[in-house]
Amino acid sequence: MKGSIVGLWLLTAVITLNLIANLEVVGYRLSRYIRPSFYNLSINIQDDASNPGTTFNGEVAITLQSNQSNLLEITLHKKLLNITRCLLYNKDGRLQQDIAASQLRYDNETELLTVPLLQPLIVNANYTLYFKYSGKVQSDTLGLFSKEIWNAGNSSARAHKVFLTQFESIDARFVFPCFDEPAFKAKFQLHIGRPSGYNAVSNTRLMETTNEGKNYFVDHFDVTPIMSTYLVAFLISNYQARGNISDYAVLSLPEHYNKTEFSYNVGKRVVAAFNELFPISYKQLGNDVLLFASVPSFDIVGMENWGLIFYSEELLVQKPGYTDGFVHKEFTCRMIAHEIAHMWFGNSVTLSWWSHLWLNEGFARLYEILVTHQLYPEYHLDQQFVIHLQTIFDEDAMNSSHPLSSSESSIQTESEFEELFGSFSYEKGASIIRMWRSAMGAVNFDNSINSYLKQHHLKNTSPSDLFAHLKQNWPAQPEVVLDTFFSDFTEQVGYPMVIVNITQNQQRVILHQKRFLNDYEDGSDATLRYTIPITFATNVKNTFDNLTPYTYFDKNKTTVEISFKEPIEWIILNLKQSSYYRVLYDKPILAQLKLALSKNGHSSIPVENRAQIIDDLFNFAHAGMIDYVDVFEFLENLKNEFDYVPWYAAYKGLIRVSQRLTPQQLPYFGKYLNNITSAVFAKLTVKSNSDDTVMDVYNRQLQVSLLCRYQNTECNNQVKLHFEADLEKPSPDYRETFYCAAARTTGYARILELYTNESDLEEKHMLWRALSCTRDYRAHYNNMVFNSKIVENKTDGVTQMYEENPDLITPILSMLAENITKWSNFLGDSWETVVMLNKMSESFTTVEQANLFAELIDENSEFFGTDIEVLESALERVKMNLEWAKQRLSNLNNYLRRR
């Protein structure tokens, strides 16, 4: 991959040497010499009777200017378009050149289209470049694509077909030749031609519809604000609108009309909240229209096209009894807030290049959480934020980590784009912005954001533009070198841990810092240092609300010292985990913290810090800095913990440990779990309760899913009784957990019936997963899994069997080994089997399993062919995992046995 890119650059260099006036194209990027200002775009879906809607015709007239004299060509992007006509008009609208299609130059790799000119462009004069072309409607989510929707119950009748677009990041070029980079902002006017029976919506207001005869119509839309190509969108469907499509509406299939009320109301509230929060209201941004449209089986959650946001159907359509649990509703609220936040962060103020994706996604994620929390406080997203932060901590502590801001040149090819849209730009971006907000104070932060949004409205920015506004509003005290602070967390990878030691007289604490890594031998740079905001509370002053730093840990200093007038018992750093670092307390402090947490009201230590301490301890143990016994001893505290977020952190750590425990060791682990969860489980039980808060519902789901999995007797008994006594369906967000637990006891037959009766496909698959939790794995495997015609059912069925019954993994592996080739033939190819076994091997914990696995690989080596390499390296990993467990978990296992 890399090699071919270098090759291309060389090639471009040779070409540019030959064409003296054309030193403009570098690699995949466009020169800044020519700027478009307006696209007049017509797309006509062809309604070919034999093959409806698989092609389209397009015409685009691009108004552009050159800022450079002597330019003898225009270069822009296109992909898979068949251009039949290319004309250039001068500033007076006269035809200046008719360029034959054969004269156009195109590079398949860079997707650059070059139009050669006979006369150089006059500087700063408007030209119009016109193309006539045809293109293909895609079936994948690329450019313009279609989705077929089949009638429920009658799979041969197509109920609907919808056409829609997805252009982010670089796919507008599938639909029209364009300057397909976010910094080339322009206005767009769209004319969408479609057969009768359909209607079209786009970014802006529908101005008029013209009848072209032969049952064909063209919808003409208003001019858009100045915006980037990746935000252009349209949809051709027979959707029904809730609301007014010239103002605000939710569009869905007509049969879903009644199920869009929830999302409609959420959207309305969210827009109002952002209008209050930001200095420019949504409409003042330049577009009166805001539409949400639902996309069935959309492989993207949501896309923030200006004025026409696409959302996956599950999110926008609330099916009563199916997708209206709290988990679903929280997700709907958050994603609606997320995409609407993009109208400001992304659409109005746009990143200058994709290497700064966090400027879009970090802000959208942060405001998604802030605004949803403001409107729907019952979800406690302020507390849940640390779950996001703790998740990205894992990725950011590995060699594969990358800085938030990368260099522009590092993001050019398709695979480089894909990496960007991983969780990094979102979760780390939001976590770092939250850290700045906490450190400077919410009011100062809001002021900076307001001036940033105003100054850069309809423009493009890079991180330094943001930093300028933050600096202007940053408090003078305590002192900090802001440029360094900003770059430490955006241009450097990773994050620090602060090591806290207390003096014997307990009147002084000494802080050191070190980069936190999962594995200090993985090639990462362990010497990186950071500017760290230090906030703290002690038993003497146990207030946690003031997030203004006491000081900043200067990265050039070795230590920071904090002195106290009187001795302190404990200290907590990084209040509410508002900053991006871990904290390692020395033993005396940790002992005192354990005591403090066991007191009434956890000595006022807030949920976020309780979760942080647990998450940090597990990770320090994982990295070998402390022993797991210390962690498990500390976790005895959970006996009086009832909150969801600390339990979430605890389970995340516990699962990681339990994955390395042998079936023989698991019962002791189960006993420990039983012990620390007794209070919270007695409170929650397996049954929902009218007093439940949302957090209780989430916590019950967590507890029941884990306790029953580790064979907690009380959990299994309660599930059995409740399942047998009560035929009512549990709420949708608890259903899989409860049915999975029930399938382990006596519920299998009835869940199988529910599965057979169910017609909703998502629900049916959920029931299949629940069914596969049965402990009678052999019967389920022989009767159901093996015979299923659906590949996903087969692989998910097996995965559920051992993941949900970790004590049974050895016999399950033996069973699979018996007829692995037959199984593979059934799946269609051996690759699926390799993927399944590779995943399963991550759960192997004994020499016996490793040997079984080695035998299986050996005996079927011919069958696996070259894919065997994947399994061979999986076997190496299994051996490393066994070694890791021997080193890191021996003390813990002795401790759990003795307990």
Structural contact between residues 275 and 281, judged by C-beta atoms closer than 8 angstroms: yes
- Does 719 bind Zn ion (CB under 5 A)? Our answer is no
Tell me which amino acid residue 721 is: L
Structural contact between residues 593 and 572, judged by C-beta atoms closer than 8 angstroms: yes
- Does 587 bind ligand NAG (CB under 6 A)? Our answer is yes
The C-alpha torsion from 576 through 582 and 587 to 593, rounded to 10°, is 10
Name the residue with the smallest CB distance to ligand NAG: 523
User: Taking contact as CB under 6 A, which single stretch among the options 56-64, 339-347, 420-428, 877-885 is the one that binds ligand NAG?
Assistant: 56-64
CB atoms within 10 A of CB 873: 12
848 is catalytic: no
- Of 350-369, binders to Zn ion (CB under 5 A) are 361, 364
Tell me which amino acid residue 868 is: I
- Does 750 bind ligand NAG (CB under 6 A)? Our answer is yes
Terminal Cα-to-Cα distance of the chain (whole angstroms) = 55
The binder of ligand NAG chosen from 586, 829, 842, 869 (CB under 6 A): 586
The binder of ligand NAG chosen from 40, 413, 603, 891 (CB under 6 A): 40
User: Taking contact as CB under 6 A, which single stretch among the options 6-14, 55-63, 294-302, 856-864 is the one that binds ligand NAG?
Assistant: 55-63
User: What does each C-alpha distance from 130 to 27, 41, 64, 409 come to in angstroms?
Assistant: 25, 10, 11, 31
What SS3 state is found at 40? strand
- Of 523-542, binders to ligand NAG (CB under 6 A) are 523-525
Distance, in Å, from the CA atom of 216 to the CA atom of 534, rounded to the nearest integer, reads 66
Q: Give the closest residue to 4 by CA, choosing from 142, 94, 108, 158.
A: 108
| Residue 758 is assigned to a ligand binding site | no
From 339, 368, 427, 641, active-site residue: 339
User: What does each C-alpha distance from 887 to 177, 884, 893 come to in angstroms?
Assistant: 60, 5, 11
- Does 82 bind ligand NAG (CB under 6 A)? Our answer is no
Q: State the binding string over 699-738 for ligand NAG (x if CB under 6 A, else -).
A: ----------------------------------------
- Does 753 bind ligand NAG (CB under 6 A)? Our answer is yes
* Residue placing its CB nearer to ligand NAG in the complex, 504 or 556: 504
| Residue 361 is assigned to a ligand binding site | yes
What SS3 state is found at 683? helix
Binding site partner of 59, from ligand NAG, Zn ion, none, Cβ cut-off 5-8 A by kind: ligand NAG
User: Taking contact as CB under 6 A, which single stretch among the options 324-332, 361-369, 581-589, 681-689 is the one that binds ligand NAG?
Assistant: 581-589
Whole-number minimum distance, CB 495 to Zn ion, in Å? 23
* Residue placing its CB nearer to ligand NAG in the complex, 260 or 350: 260
| Residue 220 is assigned to a ligand binding site | no
The binder of ligand NAG chosen from 82, 399, 838, 891 (CB under 6 A): 399
* Residue placing its CB nearer to ligand NAG in the complex, 12 or 126: 126
Distance, in Å, from the CA atom of 223 to the CA atom of 244, rounded to the nearest integer, reads 19
- Does 686 bind Zn ion (CB under 5 A)? Our answer is no
Distance, in Å, from the CA atom of 442 to the CA atom of 471, rounded to the nearest integer, reads 14
Continuous segment of H or E residues that includes residue 85: strand 82-89
What SS3 state is found at 89? strand
Task: Provide the strand spans (E) within 451-522.
Answer: 460-461, 496-502, 508-515
- Does 757 bind ligand NAG (CB under 6 A)? Our answer is yes
Structural contact between residues 440 and 546, judged by C-beta atoms closer than 8 angstroms: no
- Does 598 bind ligand NAG (CB under 6 A)? Our answer is no
Would you give the DSSP letter of residue 247?
S
Total of chain residues touching ligand NAG, rule CB under 6 A: 26
User: Taking contact as CB under 6 A, which single stretch among the options 37-45, 199-207, 715-723, 846-854 is the one that binds ligand NAG?
Assistant: 37-45
User: What does each C-alpha distance from 495 to 391, 530, 552, 631, 777 come to in angstroms?
Assistant: 13, 7, 15, 22, 44
Whole-number minimum distance, CB 770 to Zn ion, in Å? 32
The binder of ligand NAG chosen from 12, 27, 59, 160 (CB under 6 A): 59
Scan for tokens 């290049």, then name that residue. 353
DSSP codes of every residue in 419-455: HHTTHIIIIIHHHHHHHHHHHH-HHHHHHHHHHHHHH
- Does 561 bind ligand NAG (CB under 6 A)? Our answer is no
Query: Residue 838 has which token pair?
Result: 């590779």
Enumerate the known binding-site residues for Zn(2+): 338, 342, 361
Site of interaction with ligand NAG (CB under 6 A): 37-38, 40, 42, 59, 61, 63, 126, 189, 255, 258, 399, 401, 493, 499, 501, 523-525, 584, 586-587, 750, 753-754, 757
Residues contributing to the annotated binding site: 338, 342, 361
- Catalytically active residues are 339
Residues in contact with Zn ion by CB under 5 A are: 361, 364
